[in-house]
Structure formats: C-alpha cells, structure tokens
Amino acid sequence: MLIPTEGERPLRILNRETVLIRKAAGKRIHDQTIAANVDTLFIVMSCDQDFNVSRLERYLSLANQAKISPVIVLTKIDLSADTESFKQSVISLQNNLRIECVNAKDYASLLSLRTLCAEGQTIALVGSSGVGKSTLINNLTDSDQSTADVSIEDGKGQHTTTSRSLHLLRDGGLIIDTPGIRELQLSDCETGIEGTFDDVSQFLGCCKFSNCQHQTEKGCAIKDALEFGKLELRRWKSYQKLQEEQRLRDIPKYEKGRSRKS
C-alpha cells in the first residue's frame, strides 16, 4: 500500500476527470465516491456461484456512467469445468467488451491483464467479497493484502478487505483495492444504464405514443421487439429494474409508498 513517508506532502490535488460513485449502504440517500481519475475498471467475478449477469450489468452501468473502460475479469477458471459458458454469457452484454479469464493465484495467467497496468494507468477493482480482488493485487504488485478462503457452505467471501487502498503495480501503474460489494446500489446513473443497454435504447422513442408505458398500447416498439425476438426479455426486465431504482432514488422518501401503490 502506498503510504506517504514523513515529510512527504501532497504537491497538487488533481482535478477529478472521472469519478466512480455509488449509493452508500443504509437508509439515508447519499452518494459515496469509490475512486477518482480511474482509467480502467476491473469488474471481478468468479466462475462459480458468485457469477450473475444482472450484477455485471449494474457494474457496467457504473463504469459507463463514469466513462471508464470496463474489463470483465472472470477468476477461478482453475476451479471451473466450463469457463467458456461463463464467458459466452458475458460476450453478448456489450459490444467490444473486454473479457479476461484468469486464475488470480497464478502470475502467468495474468499476462493479458498486465498490458493495462503500465505507468500512467490507474485501475480500480470492484466485485463481491471472495472473488479474488486482493489475490489479483498481490500478484500484480509487491503488496501483501490479506486474503481469506470463501465459506465452504455457500461459497461467499468473508469481507476480508475492509477499506480502500492504493498500490503500485509492478508494471508501473496504480491499482485500487476495494472491499467486496455484493449489492451495488447505483447513484445517479441514467446515462450509464442507457449506454449499457443500447439493445433496449434503440427502441425507446420509437413507440406510436410518446407517453407509451410499454404495456398494452398499440404500436409499442418494445413489445414488438420482444415479440419478434429482437430484444431479450431478460435484458428488458433488467433495464426496467435499474431505471425503476433510479426513479425511486429521485423521489423523496414520504412519496415512495404512494408511488408504489399507484
């Protein structure tokens, strides 16, 4: 971990060019900055029961909102009999999405990730507890972050990393370890969601009625797209869920009950 030594003072505070923000856990609505001036977001997910496409869509929305290049890092390929099927589920999510399948414990397997680790590059890691974020850091840097085995019963991590930390990559760049987040709550993220779901957005605004609710209306472009197999139902539902969360986030608390009933 990079800790300023005695006598070292910040020379300059850089402007925030990119900011990763999430909604903080808890009842009160407030934002929490995860990291700033990040070039690449490693979205880490393991090839086991942690794997979840909807959660990946959440993380992709976060990256797209911040205009940070996402890389999906699928870990624990050494423990999976069918890495290819995990990879195939990810490929369709976004055009030109970079996917790297690794054994985070094996340095040789990280060769392709290292091309992103050069001097001048800053990387942040996000993903559930136990997927191997700190293991990756330990192999890409000279740091010694604590790691711990996942639970035998449910395969979940133990929330070993409890705070964010910045590390110098052996290849010259910087990398930020973060505590595991299982249920990422998006902050103001409408543009990021639209960007992540361009298969959906291409039909929005194409319905006959401009106030179409995409339910039973005639001339609904979304309904037609679903019916004719041009849009996947899971993607549409996932998009709706994220946008609904955005809508509720913007409604003051006392109105939320009313909004759900109506």
Task: Pick the stretch among 100-108, 133-141, 154-162, 203-211 that binds Zn ion (CB under 5 A).
Answer: 203-211
Q: Would residue 120 be called left, alpha or beta, if left means φ above 0 and alpha means ψ between -120 and 50 degrees?
A: left
Phi, psi of 197 (to 5 degrees): -115, 60
Residue type at position 7: G
Decide if residue 200 touches Zn ion (CB under 5 A). Answer: no
Buried b (16+ CB within 10 A) or exposed e, 90-126: beebbeebebbbbbbbeeebbeebeebbeeebbbbbb
**Is residue 134 involved in binding Mg ion (CB under 5 A)?**
yes
Are 65 and 189 in contact by the 8 Å Cβ rule? The answer is yes
Q: Does residue 75 belong to the site contacting Mg ion (CB under 5 A)?
A: no
Stretch that binds ligand GTP, among 12-20, 92-100, 132-140, 219-227 (CB under 6 A): 132-140
Q: Which is nearer to ligand GTP, 104 or 193 (CB)?
A: 104
Question: Residue 131 touches which of Mg ion, ligand GTP, Zn ion, none (CB < 5 to 8 A by kind)?
Answer: ligand GTP
Note whether 74 and 86 are within 8 A (CB): yes
Judged by CB under 6 A, the residue of 37, 87, 98, 105 near ligand GTP is 105
Report the DSSP beta bridge partners of residue 220.
Answer: none
Query: Which own/partner contact pairs does 212-219 have at CB distance under 8 Å and 24+ positions apart?
Result: none
**Interactions with Zn ion, residue window 213-252 (CB under 5 A):** 214, 220, 222
Measured from the CB atom, the residue of 150 and 174 that comes closer to ligand GTP is 150
Q: Which positions lie near Mg ion, rule CB under 5 A? A: 133-134, 160-161
- Chain residues in the site for ligand GTP (CB under 6 A): 75-76, 78-79, 103-105, 127, 129-135, 147-150, 157-161, 179-180
